[in-house]
Amino acid sequence: APNVGLTEELAIAAATAGVGRVVFTSSRMVYPGHLTEPLREDCAEPADSFYGLSKRMAEEVLALHGRRTGLTTVSLRVAQVVGDGDGGRGALPRLVEQALAGGPVTVNGAGAMVRDFVEVRDVARAVGLAVAAEASSPDGQLVANIGTGGFSVREMADEVARQCGLPPEAVTTRAVEREDTSVYRLDCTRAEQALGWRPELGLAEMVRDRVSRG
């Protein structure tokens, strides 16, 4: 897979050039969707998508080269990124579009699906800290989650309606044959301890930014 092969090429090139550290943007998708507890980096459950598997393998390839060559590496398992440049994809832009049109703001079933979103400026700050900070792990190979802890689609819809001046009843439900109840909540304790990072922009700020951009 390109994620694995290109990451290995980068690790080899970095070690050859004498680069001290490589920061890799991994993904929340290295974790499966059937878990409900906040996800920690030591989770042994395998990914349940080929994309997530490729990201996990790329992390391991990078760390292996790091241990063999003395290169320090930081793999950031980034939640779903929102903000400027996100292309308008995902649930949040859809909900805001509905709200700005006057509603209704619709969610599938009870809106129980939980996703961890993180604002792009918080991600950029995490990358900067990862480049500058000493990797806080015994072998110099650090893995850290970057997210906000997650919230349900219903929570998103309620916040969107509130910020757009719509009444609570403007949030409506759509019947579905089988509701997606998967949960992605990232535990970001390690990022705070090892990198001094914590998210500065939460759900309210993400919605406010999206509403301002229409």
31 catalytic residue (yes or no)? no
Distance in angstroms (rounded) separating the CA atoms of residues 41 and 142: 10
CA angle 194, 195, 198 (to 5 degrees): 110
Q: Which residues contact 140 (CB under 8 A, 6 or more apart)?
A: 66, 67, 70, 71, 72, 73
Radius of gyration over every alpha carbon of the chain, rounded to an integer in angstroms: 19
Q: Which two tokens stand for residue 173?
A: 């439900």
Residue 170 falls in which region: left (phi positive, over 0), alpha (psi -120 to 50) or beta: alpha
Q: Which helix (H) or strand (E) holds 141?
A: strand 141-146
How many CA within 13 A on the CB side of residue 184?
23
Distances (CA, A) of 164 to 93, 99, 104, 161, 188: 13, 6, 12, 5, 30
Catalytic residue among 5, 49, 51, 102: 51
Q: Which two tokens stand for residue 45?
A: 């459950």
- Is residue 138 within 8 A of residue 199, CB to CB? The reply is no
Catalogue the active-site residues.
Answer: 51
